[in-house]
Amino acid sequence: MSSNNVQDISGINNVGEKRKGLGLKGVKISGIEAPVFFGIAAIVLIGMYMELLPENIVSGLAVTMVLGGLLMWIGNSIPVFGTFGGGPILCILIPALFLYWGLIPESFAVLADNFYNEWGFAELVVTGLIVGSILSMDRKMLMKTGPRFFVPLLGGVFAALLIGGAVGHLIGFGFSETIFFVVGPIMGGGMAAGAVPMAEIYAANGSGDAGSYLAQLAPAVMVGNMVCILIAGGLNGLGKRKKPLSANFTGNGKLLRATEPGAEKKAKEHKESILPLSLRNLAVGLLIASGLFIFGEIVNSFVPSLHAYVWIILGAAALKLFRILPESIEKSSEDWYDFISMAWVPAVLVTISAGMIDFNSVLGIVTDPSYITLTILTVVLATLGAGFIGTLVGFYFVESSISAGLGMADMGGSGDVAVLSASERMGLMPFLQISSRIGGAMMLIILSILAPLLL
């Protein structure tokens, strides 16, 4: 079962469903015939609006999968908009917007936040995507890609810092203010691992307390994340042009250019021919991902300076590079990754929107022309810097822009899922995690050096 087939079932990349538009004849939503899906949706939504949903993982799965599947189908059915990541964009915007308008009960926001952050759904999904994408990679490609990935990563960071700071100075916002309150939080790896420690750094060197600084940093993180999702959808749409902008523009999910044409497809077809999808594969894939998650947590307890996801990436990469696991287990991890992509990615986007996006903060930025200009510019500079420098080290522009540019500028792990869903490139998850975790840590080091001098 290929990842493309899985995406077709979910509606993320279903061309046939897009052509049918919004008509229901023969349409499937999340792999279910539309009348059946709407029957289930009616039951779940009645429970949500009557506020009868119990606070548990079953309710979280039911309501987020229903809303995610519905919004993904609608977004991907809209001409042109669907090509530019319409489904994922609706999943990340509509729940937060409806909560802001009061069209969805506030109890759903609490349920979504607990489901994603407190009950472990985030770790289950992100770990499965990381492990599955690494173990399904071509080993030679992984060896070639890893060492050179930090070149476009640093290119995106310095492009955003230097050019963004200069523009901020020219428009009167201020060089230091732009670096510390726009570029820094956007490129810092999200809220918990980026903005929160950043506020502590500023408090130790400035005149305010950490809480006041965090209030200034959070809006940039959230709005920057939304800009990342829109740009990811745009890059995906440009990559689907019948006549590509250049031969090096997009690898359709493949980061490195210097690989044998069709090698990855042949390897995947070989795996599928001898190791078909089975429920046993899903169980094995879940166990391997869970084991690596525990490994990451154990090592993180001894080396807390690096996030547990970094150790998960390194552990999975070691298993792949040293050929420790048999091919059957690697295929099982890939099947678990495919299942998560098919069944849960739209649900994740809905939980992020409902539980983590505050539209009041978003509107506060949008009404400040200088701030919104610099926020958009920061993400664009990170994207272009990573993309152009990536082409110099043998990467495709789109994949390098997404991995090293948007991976730095989005909202950490949840932002990575949203960006990759909008760009239809879930296989790049390990590289975005490197950008978010290691790149974010690098950003904190840079700001901790600059803070005593400029803040």
More confident residue, 275 or 129: 129
pLDDT (0 to 100) of residue 41? 95
List the chain domain ranges. 3-118, 123-454
More confident residue, 278 or 449: 449
- Fill in the amino acid letter for 358: D
Q: Maximum distance among all alpha carbons in the chain? A: 65
pLDDT digits (tens, 9 = 90+) for 145-197: 777 888 998 888 889 999 999 999 999 888 999 999 999 999 987 765 677 77
65: left (phi over 0), alpha (psi -120 to 50) or beta: alpha
pLDDT digits (tens, 9 = 90+) for 315-367: 988 998 899 999 889 989 989 988 887 888 888 888 878 877 777 777 776 67
Q: Is residue 144 scored above 90 in pLDDT? A: no
What is the rounded average pLDDT of the residues 13-37?
66
